[in-house]
Structures are given as C-alpha cells and as structure tokens.
Amino acid sequence: MDPRTLNRLGPCAWEIPRRGAMLAPAVIYASEALVREMDEKVREQASHVAMLPGIVGASYAMPDAHWGYGFPIGGVAAFDADAGGVVSAGGVGFDISCGVRCLHTGLQRADIVAVQAALADALYAHIPAGVGSTGAIHLNSEQMHDMLTGGARWAAEQGWGTETDLERIEEGGQMLHAKPGCVSALAKARQRREMGTLGSGNHYLEVQAVTEIFDTTAAGVYGLRAGDVMVTIHCGSRGLGHQIGSEFLLRMAAEAPRHGLSLPDRELACAPIRSDLGQEYLGAMRAAINCALANRQILTHLVRSVFATRLPSARLSLLYDVSHNTCKVERHAVDGRQRELHVHRKGATRAFGPGHPELPPALRPAGQPVLVGGSMGTGSYVLAGNAGSEALAFSSACHGAGRAMSRHQAQKTWQGRAVVDELALRGILVRSPTSRGIAEEAPGAYKDVAAVVDATEAAGLARKVARLEPLICIKG
C-alpha cells in the first residue's frame, strides 16, 4: 500500500478518509515500512467494514493487518445495537476464539536445556497435534452442553484446572450468554473427538525462554524475569468453531437482503444485532468461545502432566489467556459518553489498560497482558495494554507477525526437513507430523514480529514488556 495515498495522523497512524458509502473513516496503525508491505486488500477491506450500519468511531487495522475475509485479519470494529449495528461472522472468523495462553513454569533455561530433547519428545507424544488427531476426551450430549456453557470453568470442574487458572483467563474462563442450542448438530459432532487437540496450520505449543525485559515494572507485575521458562499454547475452538463460522457466514450472506443490508461485498456477511439471526449467531459464537477456552484448559492439563513426569519441580501457573477472534459486548467511552458496543476483533487482541475492572487484581497495575506470537524462529512478545488505547481502537492491539508469503510460495521456497535442522542448530527443537506443514510455517514466511510490536508500541496501543524465544516447538 502506498502511504502517500493515506492521511498521516501520527508516526504510526494513517487515515483512509470517509468517502462514498463509508459511514466512518478507517484508521491503520502501522509504521510507514509496514504500510508499504501491506496488501492493498487491507485498504479495501477496512473501507468496506466502515460501510456497515451502526459502526462507531472508525474501522481499525492493527500493525499486523493482512487480507482476510470481509474484515482484514488484524481488523477491529465496534457496532452499536441502538444505532442499527450489526454482528458479522466474517468479522470474527472461522477459528472463533483462537487465542494464546502463556504459562509460567518456575524453571530457568538451564533446567530445560538439560532435558530438552526428551521433553520435546514427551510433549509431542502427549499433545494430539496435526490433521486427523483426536483427543482422549469424548463428550456425550450432556457433557457437550455443559462444556459449551461452562468453558474453562467446566474443564476445571472436571479436574483439568484450578480456580486460580480461571482468574487469569478473559471472562474468568467462562463466556456468559452462550447458547449451545444455537450450535448445529454437525458442529457438535465435529468437536466430539477434538477436545484437547492442538490442530494444525499456525497453531503451536512452545516452551520458551524470556530473553529480554523492556518494562521492568510491568514485568514485575506479570512475574517475568530474564531466563524464565514459559509455555505458550496457540489454538482455538477446533472443528466446532470452524463449522459455526462456515454455517453462519452462508446464512448471513443469504439473509442479508431480507434484513435490508446492502453489502459492498458478500464476504461482509452480517446480521443486525437485534435480529433473530444476529442473536442466534452471538449465542453460538459465545459457545465456541467456551469451547476454545475449555480446549486450551485441557491442553494445559496435558502439558502439566508431561512436566510433572519430566521436571517435577516445575509449577505451571497461568500468566494469562487471550482470544483473538471474537465479538464481545464491552462498555467504552465515546466522545465522553459510555456506550455499550459489540466489538469485533478479527486477528486482534483485547488490550485493556491499567486499572481496568475486568482484569484480575494482581494484573491491574500493569494492564492486560497482550500475548503476541511470532514464528518458530523469531520469538514472541508479551505486551501490556495502555489506558490510551481505548480512545485509539477500543482497547485493542496486534496479535502476531502476520504472513509475508503465501503457503503456496512457502512450500516452493523451503523444505520442512531443512527448516527443522536449521532451527535445531540454533537450539530450537521442532516436533511435527508434517514436513510440508513445517515448510509452510517456516520463519521466513512471516513478517518481522519485532517491527509489528514496535509499531504497536509507537502507536500507543500497548507497550513492550518482554521478549521470548522458543526452545521447543510442537506443530500440528
């Protein structure tokens, strides 16, 4: 994208002015270099989102934005039901509540290096990952209903977590107002064998070491020190969320004319918040959020079991669990007035600032942890939400590096085995059932995550707290 075609609002903020059918402007938060790298589709999609009824403020794109489905990946938009606002299945995405959970281990890098290969093998053996993998937990109808209503709280009640875990998860581990009755039989059937599975693609489980601290005060609040070993899990609502996304996208596209919605693009399939279809989707999507929270909780239990055997001195406690693909009802100050908004974050992280009442008391002084995944070779970041980000983008920040190259191109560029060997020489052990999948996820296929978090900080969306580097990576 050519930055000269945008209005520069600040060092890392750019505006696409309101024009044509746009009901609000679009704002892109990124450095000039990142804007230059961005697909022209981000401009088109961010502008289209600004045409949807009931949009409040602007249509926002985070520094890692790239071409998505209707909404750009890295897109944020809030809608007011009182102003005829809509909810969009494309604005949430197919992997509902895909997110990241980061755990302390109480261990230091040297503790891992001594058993690194054995630990990698044990994690790979115990964490179901990859196409066709199934979990050991198979749910009957009643258990499925309880899981879709209870989320991580349900999982903890089954013995796969603790009350302390729940305090460190968005929504306290349980998304309220979920409606399992709005989830189709097919979606439930797809999930029956997939509880406690990692999935494939960009999903991963990593053992990481903290290599750099940027904000010692926030790091102190989060309990992060250089050399600490962390475990990070990236996955979502598995087949259930995918099926809900697929079904509602088509229903919303087909029913848009009946709701009087004239969409600039069929990809923007949506429904009025105050419609039967809108409410049905919200009920199903919230059930999928609970599925993702339960899934990450079960995976946490599996990880704890492996560490208990291999490194009994480890104590795995949650730093935090964030979701990337959601639509949540939040209260935000807009022009000095509190308004209840349906905030869509598609490939974006909620980033409440210090003192926010929804944060657990222990984290409140620093703000919400924003967990940003990079690639297998480049590392990840922990950021903290800023109070000022509410006015910038309804308290939102980036979620990852974003792809620099398509999977097709990556396949032609790298060999999976060579990527694994090269990373091993750098002290990063990768375990995966798929060589081609590794090639598609090669570090070079991703943008520079450091540039993304630097732009996020410069834009005022969140501030850097710590950098983490992988020691072990389990890929599906």
Partner 1 sequence: MQGHWEHFDHGADIGVRGFGLTQAAAFEQAALALTAAVADPATVRGLDRVDFVCEAPDAELLLVHWLNAVVTQMALHGMLFSRFQVQIEGHRLNAQALGEPVSASRHEPAVEIKGATVTALRVAQLGDGGWVAQTVVDV
Strand partners, 230: 104, 208
What would the x/- binding string for partner 1 be over residues 79 to 118, using CB under 8 A?
--------------xxx-----------------------
3-state class of 461 per DSSP? coil
Which CB sits closer to partner 1, 63 or 161? Answer: 63
Using the rule CB under 8 A, give the single segment among 214-222, 263-271, 314-322, 456-464 that binds partner 1: 263-271
**What DSSP element (H or E) covers 207?**
strand 204-213
Q: Under the phi-then-psi rule, with left for phi > 0, alpha for psi from -120 to 50, and beta for the rest, what region is 199?
A: left
Does position 436 interact with partner 1 (CB under 8 A)? The reply is: yes
If you ran DSSP here, which 8-state letter would residue 130 be given?
A: S
Residue 448 has which token pair? 């520079």
The Cα–Cα gap between 389 and 397 comes to 8
The residue among 189 and 308 lying less far from partner 1, judged by its C-beta, is 189
Site membership for partner 1, residue 379 (CB under 8 A): no
**Pairs from 421-424 (Cβ < 8 Å, separation ≥ 24):** 423/376, 423/377, 423/473
Q: Work out how close the CB of 241 gets to partner 1 at its nearest, in angstroms, rounded to a whole number.
A: 8
How many other C-beta atoms can be found within 10 angstroms of the C-beta atom of residue 361? 8
The verdict on 437 binding partner 1 (CB under 8 A) reads: yes
Question: 242, 342, 399, 408: which is the annotated catalytic residue?
Answer: 399
| Other beta carbons less than 10 A from residue 312's beta carbon | 8
* From candidates 305, 309, 409, 413, binder to partner 1 by CB under 8 A: 409
Which of the stretches 105-113, 250-258, 366-374, 466-474 binds partner 1 when contact is defined by CB under 8 A?
A: 250-258
What's the rounded Cα separation, in Å, for the pair 229 and 252?
A: 44
The reply on whether position 172 binds partner 1 by CB under 8 A is no
How near is the Cβ of 200 to partner 1 at its closest, in Å? 5
At position 467, the amino acid (one-letter code) is: R
User: Distances from the Cα of 373 to the Cαs of 186, 268, 354, in angstroms?
Assistant: 31, 27, 22
203 is catalytic: no
Contact criterion met (CB below 8 Å) for 468 and 381? yes
Write down the H helix ranges in 274-361: 276-310
Residue from the set 30, 152, 183, 253 that interacts with partner 1 by CB under 8 A:
253
Nearest distance in Å: CB 258, partner 1: 12
- The phi and psi torsions of 172 (rounded to 5 degrees) equal 65, 25
Is residue 448 a contact residue for partner 1 (CB under 8 A)? no
Beta carbons within 8 Å of 116's beta carbon, 6+ residues apart: 429, 471, 472
34 binds partner 1 (CB under 8 A): no
1 belongs to the binding site for partner 1 (CB under 8 A):
no
Q: By CB under 8 A, tell whether 74 contacts partner 1.
A: no
User: What tokens appear for 165 in the block?
Assistant: 């875990």
Question: Among 110, 136, 250, 424, which residue interacts with partner 1 (rule: CB under 8 A)?
Answer: 250
Which one of residues 27, 34, 58, 66 is an interface residue with partner 1 (CB under 8 A)? Answer: 66
Query: Locate tokens 């600039």: which residue?
Result: 264
Q: How far is the CB of 132 from partner 1 (least distance, A)?
A: 4
15 vs 44, beta carbon nearer partner 1? 44
Nearer Cβ to partner 1 (124/394): 124
Footprint of partner 1 (CB under 8 A): 39, 41, 66-69, 73, 93-95, 130-132, 134, 186, 189-190, 199-201, 239, 242-243, 245-246, 249-250, 253-254, 266-267, 269, 402-403, 406-409, 433-437, 440, 476
Q: Show which residues are catalytic.
A: 399
